[in-house]
Chain A
Amino acid sequence: QQQVKQSPQSLIVQKGGISIINCAYENTAFDYFPWYQQFPGKGPALLIAIRPDVSEKKEGRFTISFNKSAKQFSLHIMDSQPGDSATYFCAAGGSNYKLTFGKGTLLTVNP
């Protein structure tokens, strides 16, 4: 059972454009929603995270939007740069300590 569904699987945007990645979850016990960025040959690195008491969180060019009623959250990357090309994972966590990850989105930003 896939508890966190992520889309799209891959995304190509032009430099300066907006990249949008969406995730949906099923378990209402989740109360922590991080996004990780992974470059080839590296481990995932925490990008930004949100808790369900806020609907949006912004850090630089990265914004998480959270819709609790729809059980959806999304990552927006503004002014996308070639250096942002990586695989992005959404995840959800709750009181059982583990993170449940989406399948990942391969983002390519063309110069």
Chain B
Amino acid sequence: DSGVTQTPKHLITATGQRVTLRCSPRSGDLSVYWYQQSLDQGLQFLIQYYNGEERAKGNILERFSAQQFPDLHSELNLSSLELGDSALYFCASSVAPTSPDTQYFGPGTRLTVL
């Protein structure tokens, strides 16, 4: 158990809908990262927050957004969902603001878009 929690575990929704994925980092970790894992693209970095502020951005679509709250939990919002958005979404957390740093992954949220 990495100490990173993610909810929900599974999510099934329809095209065009909007969903919110939630992540709580390990106790003491200030950085949160979001990754998307699909069979064809592998693990892709989406976005990083450190202590409430966006720190780095990867291959995140404009339909996706994220934020980190004062209690350090983070939410990833996915809107106007398409079939291709079906994937595993992982959150990871780390202690330090500097990079590189050990990232601990949560169990993931499996999103299915029908």
Contacts and interface: CB of A to CB of B under 8 A. Distances in A.
B partners with A: yes
Interface of A: 31-32, 34, 36, 41-46, 49, 89, 91, 93-104
7 contacts: A43-B2, A43-B92, A44-B105, A97-B55, A97-B56, A99-B103, A102-B42
Interface centre among A91, A94, A99 (most CB of B within 10 A): A99
Contact of B42 (A31, A96, A103): A103
Contacts of B44: 101
Interface of B: 2, 4, 31, 33, 42-45, 48, 55-56, 58, 90, 92, 99-100, 102-108
The binding surface of chain B is classed by DSSP as strand
B104 A96 contact: no
Contact of B107 (A42, A94, A96): A42
B90 A43 contact: yes
Given A89-B43, A95-B99, A101-B43, A43 B58 contact: no
A44 B43 contact: yes
Contact of A46 (B55, B90, B102): B102
* From B45, B55, B58, B90, residue with most partner A Cβ within 10 Å: B45
Contacts of A42: 107-108
Contacts of A102: 42
Which of A31, A44, A98 gathers the greatest number of chain B CB atoms within 10 Å? Answer: A98
4 A-B pairs closest in CB distance: A32-B100, A93-B100, A43-B105, A98-B45
A54 to B, nearest CB: 15
Contacts of B105: 36, 43-45
A99 B103 CA distance: 9
A96 B98 CA distance: 9
A97 B99 contact: yes
Contacts of B45: 98-100
